[in-house]
Amino acid sequence: MADIYERLVFDAPHQNAREILFSALNSYLGAVARIIPSGRAWIGGQFITRTPDVPSGLDVVLIPDDWGSLKRMTGRVRDALYGLLTLRGVIVGQPAMYLDQVQPVGGLLDGFLCFPGDEETWANTWSYEGRRGFPEVVW
């Protein structure tokens, strides 16, 4: 995380906006680590680009080390995990409403879960078919 901060916040344009996104990322990964015992997170989105534009968000794909531990989750732990993932096309019961998208951390980031065997697909997406790199955080 120190390397990510140095390269994508401290030494990058729009430092104030990046500070907010980095704080969201740090909090998000802390919450993830309390639910998923170990794994990796790949970081993508506008946050990892160095353009003149102000970054408005970041993307995180979670790659758990033990998929079985996620499948065994029940109740509040499972609900907490779902609360950390971006959901699309959500229907809420009471009051009845439809939401196009629900995002964790107040909408500052999108969180995705990589199913076993889909790592190559995510890596190709995150690297724009090998044209750029992306940070990885391990916990």
Q: Render pLDDT for 1-51 as a digit per residue (tens, 0 to 9).
A: 999 999 999 989 999 999 999 999 999 999 999 999 999 999 999 999 888
CATH architecture for segment(s) 2-138: 2-Layer Sandwich (3.30)
With vertex at residue 134, the alpha carbon angle to CA 132 and CA 139, rounded to the nearest 5 degrees, is 160
Bond prior to 95 in cis (omega within 30° of 0): yes
50 closest CA partner among 95, 9, 105, 99: 9
Average per-residue pLDDT for the chain: 91
The pairing of beta strand 58-64 with beta strand 109-113: parallel
With vertex at residue 53, the alpha carbon angle to CA 135 and CA 29, rounded to the nearest 5 degrees, is 30
| Per-residue pLDDT, 90 | 66
The model carries a pTM of 0.89
Domain boundaries, the chain: 2-138
How many Cβ atoms are within 10 Å of 87's Cβ, its own excluded?
14
Q: Which residue has the higher pLDDT, 91 or 85?
A: 85
Percent of the chain with pLDDT strictly greater than 90: 71
Which one-letter DSSP state was computed for residue 115?
P
